[in-house]
């Protein structure tokens, strides 16, 4: 890793958010992209829009090439103190309520699904047998 590996807070990084002085946080590392603003193929505006926060997702969403990733070292100035970055709001799927905690109802339904057709069949056969023998 380059530089001295200084640890910055989000507060400090956030102070560098202009086209003349721009720091970004990507993958837990802090980059000073001031010199790169004009050369960035994606333009300086996207870089500016990604300042003052964790820009990892923005960076990854673009699907930067490996050569783009290799360039990053050049701008590395230190690490970010992760505790200063607000936690990402993760989507937590709602917990599935547990229907039929009691397995007996489930069992009875299954049993009926098996017995009812059987009973109807038995009834049909019975009726047929009965009508045949009486007529
Ligand atoms: C150290 C940080 C960065 C470096 C060194 C960098 C470098 C590059 C390079 C070399 C390209 C050309 C395509 C490629 O090789 O993948 C590129 C494209 C692009 N970058 Fe970055 N980038 C950085 C950060 C960012 C961030 C944080 C964003 C979004 C907020 C961003 C948005 C884009 C976009 C949208 C393109 C696509 C341009 C196009 O294809 O028209 N970049 N970047």
Task: Say if residue 2's pLDDT is above 50.
Answer: no
Using a 10 angstrom Cβ sphere, with 0-12 exposed, 13-18 middle and 19 or more buried, the burial of residue 123 is exposed
- The pLDDT-based confidence of 115 (bands split at 50, 70, 90) is very high
Query: How far are the Cα atoms of 4, 9, 35, 47 from residue 20, in angstroms, in the given order?
Result: 23, 20, 8, 12
Q: How many CB atoms lie within 10 A of CB 98?
A: 6
Evaluate whether residue 95 is within a structural domain: no
Mean pLDDT of 33-51: 95
The reply to whether 42 and 104 lie within a common domain is no
Query: How many structural domains is the chain composed of?
Result: 2
pLDDT at 92 over 90: no
pLDDT of residue 63: 95
- Flag whether 1 is in a domain: no
Does some domain include residue 90? Answer: no
pLDDT confidence of residue 100 = 56
pLDDT band for position 33 (cuts 50, 70, 90): very high
Return the residue whose CA atom lies nearest to atom 21 of ligand 1: 42
DSSP run (H or E) holding 132:
helix 103-134
The answer to whether residues 63 and 24 belong to one domain is yes
What is the Cα–Cα distance from 131 to 38, expressed in whole angstroms? Answer: 96
Q: Identify whether residues 12 and 59 lie together within a single domain.
A: yes
Q: Which of 55, 61, 64 to mutate to test the pocket of ligand 1 (most atoms within 8 A of CB)?
A: 64
On the question of pLDDT at 5 being above 80, the answer is no
Q: Is the pLDDT of residue 101 over 80?
A: no
Mean pLDDT to the nearest integer, 86-112: 80
Distance in angstroms (rounded) separating the CA atoms of residues 38 and 62: 18
Which residues make Cβ contacts (< 8 Å) with residue 37, sequence separation at least 6? 19, 22, 44, 47
Residue 7 has pLDDT above 50, yes or no: yes
Q: Is the pLDDT of residue 50 over 50?
A: yes
Q: What is the CATH number of the domain that holds 62?
A: 3.10.120.10
| 61 and 106 co-located in one domain | no
48 lines ligand 1 (CB under 6 A): no
11 with 72, same domain: the answer is yes
Is the Cβ atom of 69 under 6 angstroms away from ligand 1?
A: no
Domain co-membership, 72 together with 119 = no
Give the Cα separation of 54 and 107 in Å (integer).
52
C-alpha to C-alpha distance for 16 and 127, rounded to whole angstroms: 89
Question: Which domain range does residue 124 map to?
Answer: 100-135
- Taken as a whole, the chain contains a residue count of 135
Choose between 94 and 14: higher pLDDT: 14
Instruction: Output the average pLDDT for the chain.
Output: 89
Q: Are residues 59 and 114 in the same domain?
A: no
């Amino acid at each position: 890793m380059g530089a001295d590996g200084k640890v910055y807070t989000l507060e400090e990084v956030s102070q560098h958010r202009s086209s003349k002085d721009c720091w970004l946080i990507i993958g837990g590392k802090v980059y000073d992209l001031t010199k790169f603003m004009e050369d960035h193929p994606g333009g300086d505006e996207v870089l500016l829009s990604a300042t003052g926060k964790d820009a990892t997702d923005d960076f990854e969403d673009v699907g930067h090439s490996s050569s783009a990733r290799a360039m990053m070292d050049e701008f590395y100035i230190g690490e970010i103190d992760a505790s200063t970055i607000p936690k990402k709001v993760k989507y937590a799927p709602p917990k599935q309520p547990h229907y039929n905690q009691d397995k007996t109802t489930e069992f009875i339904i299954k049993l009926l699904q098996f017995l009812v057709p059987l009973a109807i069949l038995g009834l049909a056969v019975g009726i047929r047998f009965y009508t045949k023998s009486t007529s």
